[in-house]
C-alpha cells in the first residue's frame, strides 16, 4: 500500500500551508486544500503549487489538534499519534509558533525549529501508530545563551539594512558557546524525548536529530519578523 495522502484542513492556514509545501517537495500526496491555505501556498511557492493536484482524501492521514496549546495530532483510521510540542521557534508560519523576540522573554527553552517539527510530522505520518510523544529540542538553552544568539543575529540584520554589512560583523562569535548545564529545578522536569526518537527510528532508522541549529532557527524567525506585512502569511 502506498503512502497515504495528508489532510491538513484542521490546521491553522499558515501552518497547513507550510506542512503541505514540505510534503509536496518530498512528493507526498496532499488532499484537497481550503482556499485560504491554497492562496498562502501559491504566494510562497507559485512554481511548486502550479504542479499541485490534490488527491482523494477519503483514507488520508488527518493532521489536526490544538496548536495554540502545543498539541498536534495525526489520525489514520483508529490510530492517533499525539505530539505535545514545546519551545517551537517559527521559521515559516507567523502567528502560529513563537518568533525570536517573543522567545526572548522566556527563562530558556528546549528550542526547536518549526521546520524540524514539520519534518518529524511528515515522517511519523507515513505510518501512524497510537502514541503520545513529546516533541522539542534535544538540549536546554538558558536565557543568556539564547539572548547572545539573538543579539548577534540582530546586529547582522541591522547592519544589512543599513548597508554596513562588513567582515567584522561576520567575525563575531562564529560558533555558540557550549556550556556545562546545571541540573534543572525539579519543578521543570526534563522532557522525555526518548519515545519520539524510538518512534522515528522505527520509521526510517534516523531517530530524532533536528537539522537546524538554534542560530539558524532564529535567523529564519528574524526574516519572518522583518518581512513586509504582505509577505507574512
- Give the pLDDT score at 16: 98
> Is 58 inside any structural domain?
no
* CB 89, CB 114: distance < 8 Å: yes
194: which residues sit within 8 A by CB, 6+ positions away?
A: none
Residue 177 has pLDDT above 70, yes or no: no
Please check whether residue 59 lies inside any domain of the structure: no
C-alpha cell at 138: 534535544
Which residue in the block uniquely carries the three cell numbers 498562502?
A: 40
Residue 101 domain flag: yes
Confidence band for 178, pLDDT divided at 50, 70 and 90: low
19 located within any domain: no
Domain-embedded: residue 15 = no
* Mean pLDDT of all residues belonging to the chain: 88
- Residue numbers of the domain that contains 165: 65-179+187-231
- State residue 170's pLDDT score: 45
Beta bridge partner(s), residue 112: 88
User: Total domain count for the chain?
Assistant: 1
**Cell matching residue 172:** 563575531
* Cα gap 223→91, rounded to integer Å: 8
Q: Is the pLDDT of residue 185 over 80?
A: no
- Is residue 212 a part of any domain in this protein? yes
pTM over cut 0.75: yes
Residue 78 belongs to a domain: yes
Residue 39 maps to a domain: no
Per-residue model confidence as pLDDT tens digits over 78-92: 999 999 999 999 999
pLDDT surpasses 80 at 174: no
Amino acid at each position: 500500500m502506498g503512502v497515504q495522502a495528508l489532510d491538513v484542513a484542521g490546521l491553522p492556514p499558515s501552518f497547513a500551508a507550510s506542512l503541505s509545501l514540505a510534503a509536496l517537495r518530498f512528493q507526498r500526496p496532499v488532499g484537497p486544500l481550503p482556499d485560504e491555505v491554497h492562496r498562502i501556498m501559491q504566494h510562497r511557492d507559485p512554481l511548486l503549487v502550479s504542479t499541485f493536484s490534490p488527491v482523494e482524501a477519503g483514507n488520508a492521514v488527518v493532521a489536526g489538534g490544538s496548536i495554540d496549546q502545543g498539541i498536534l495530532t495525526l489520525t489514520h483510521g483508529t490510530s492517533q499519534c499525539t505530539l505535545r510540542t514545546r519551545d517551537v521557534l517559527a521559521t515559516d508560519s507567523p502567528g502560529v509558533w513563537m518568533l525570536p523576540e517573543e522567545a526572548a522573554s522566556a527563562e530558556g527553552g528546549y528550542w526547536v525549529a518549526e521546520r524540524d517539527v514539520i519534518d518529524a510530522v511528515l515522517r511519523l505520518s507515513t505510518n501512524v501508530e497510537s502514541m503520545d510523544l513529546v516533541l522539542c529540542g534535544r538540549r536546554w538553552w538558558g536565557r543568556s545563551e539564547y539572548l547572545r544568539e539573538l543579539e548577534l543575529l540582530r546586529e547582522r540584520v541591522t547592519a544589512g539594512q543599513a548597508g554596513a554589512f562588513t567582515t567584522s560583523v561576520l567575525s563575531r562569535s562564529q560558533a555558540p558557546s557550549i556550556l556545562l548545564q546545571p541540573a534543572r529545578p525539579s519543578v521543570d522536569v526534563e522532557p522525555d524525548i526518548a519515545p519520539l526518537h524510538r518512534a522515528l527510528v522505527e520509521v526510517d532508522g534516523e531517530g530524532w536529530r533536528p537539522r537546524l541549529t538554534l542560530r539558524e532557527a532564529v535567523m529564519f524567525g528574524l526574516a519572518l519578523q522583518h518581512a513586509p506585512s504582505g509577505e507574512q502569511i
